[in-house]
Structure 1
Amino acid sequence: MSVAYWIVAVLLGLFYLYSGGIKAVRDPQRLKPMMAWVDTVPRPALRALGAVEVLGALGLLLPPLTGIAPWLALAAAAGLVVLQIGAMRLHLSRGEVRETGLNIALIVLAAAAVWLGTVWI
């Protein structure tokens, strides 16, 4: 199960480091072609969302790697599930049903990380 956790965690980590990183530093106008919803949230909220995604990615990877409070990886994965449920609600409220496919895939991966991460509890 440890190998499976690392595969899922690295995939999620890379996705959220990139996604969160660009939300945290890029201008919303440059993000709009990729993320049409950025004009519906204030810039500080967009920056905070990016920071949460980056912290979630680091939370998936660093605690198990260092052996310091590895249960935090489960908390990070559960937080990413909650984050994607919120993202899916935003897309559905905007009528963007097609966009929810990625949200569902990320929810499934993060839930798998929670389950696979129980090896450290």
Structure 2
Amino acid sequence: MDTSLEHLSQSVRMFCDDRDWAQFHNPKDLAIGMATEASELLELFRFQDSEQMNKMLEDGETREKIGDELADQLYFLLRFADLYGFDLAEELNRKIGKNAMKYPVDVSRGSNRKV
């Protein structure tokens, strides 16, 4: 199975084209979709301690719910990038470069503090 970003983007594009959904996919609504799906993932973990979260990740039914929310987020991200010309691999590499400068290893290793 081809799981490249390009192949996944094509799958999302075909799914949306078959349903004539481009008319609903402006930048604002796609961004809202990303935020909504991220909130739905967060809701699954609300008020859970580390032990409970580990159990959730081991439970097949709950793991599937988590996977659904991750897939929903990826769907909106791929759709936004495809419609508005963002190369996600290029954007990620560019951002990692920025973060490498912002969080040098000698200062950031083992620390989650913002600089």
**Which of the two has higher C-alpha Rg?**
2
TM over 0.5: no
